[in-house]
Structure 1
Amino acid sequence: MIRNVVLVRLRDGVDPSWAAHWRERVAGLDLPGTVAYTQGADLGLRDGTWSFALVADVVDEEAYRRYDLDEEHNRLRDELAPWAQDVARVQFEL
């Protein structure tokens, strides 16, 4: 199993409801080999955190590659790009 973790720091002024809706659309992707999505906005408990996190668990590297190359997934990435100040990603084996 592979876990893909994405952290996003949004630019100032991005509507939180837009970001929540965007996260829900990503978590709603129904791609073969995807086991679970988890997502949420930062709670603001510390300074220096990111705006939100997305976690996708997939069965194997092949499923991750499909997820990474999926047309709708990439359309959503493109939609986020102008609003994201920073994006960090890591994939690791569970």
Structure 2
Amino acid sequence: MYVILVYDVNEKRTNKMLKLCRKYLNWIQNSVFEGEISEVKLKELKNRASLIMDNETDSLIIFKTRNEKWLDKEIVGKERAKTDNFL
């Protein structure tokens, strides 16, 4: 599945969350990630994120789609990180 993940955590936990999410997805902008991920890996990511987060103040939002082709993405301005991989 293809996901877009957005988090909002206290600045004390930002680096930990950034490092965790970069292990699973492509970092495209501050606190925003996207990419292909399996159900098992997504569950693992959510479990690890919950250990970092304070559920009273922090949030993690995940948008899911079957495939990236079902997502119409438009970038206005500078793209922070390209997700295209050329081999």
Band the TM-score falls in, shorter-chain normalisation: 0.5 to 0.7
- Cα RMSD (Å): 2.6
Deviations, residues 52-81 of structure 1 (Å, cap 9, x unaligned):
1122313xxxxx2111233xx344212232
Q: Which runs of 4+ in 1 moved over 4 A?
A: none
Question: Per-residue deviation at 1:22?
Answer: 2.9
Q: State the alpha-carbon separation in 2 of the partners of residues 21 and 87 from structure 1.
A: 14
Contiguous gaps of at least 5 residues in structure 2: 69-87
Cross-structure match for 1:54: 33
8 A contact 1:38–1:54 mirrored in 2? yes
Relative to the length of structure 1, the TM-score reads 0.50
Q: Per-residue deviation at 1:86?
A: 2.6
Q: Which runs of 5+ in 1 are unaligned?
A: 30-36, 43-51, 59-63
Taking only the aligned residue pairs, the percentage that are identical comes to 0
- For the 8 Å contact 2:28–2:34, the answer to whether it is kept is no
TM-fit CA distance, 1:7: 0.9
Correspondence 1:25-40 to 2 at 5 A: 25-29=20-24, 37-39=25-27
Aligned length: 66
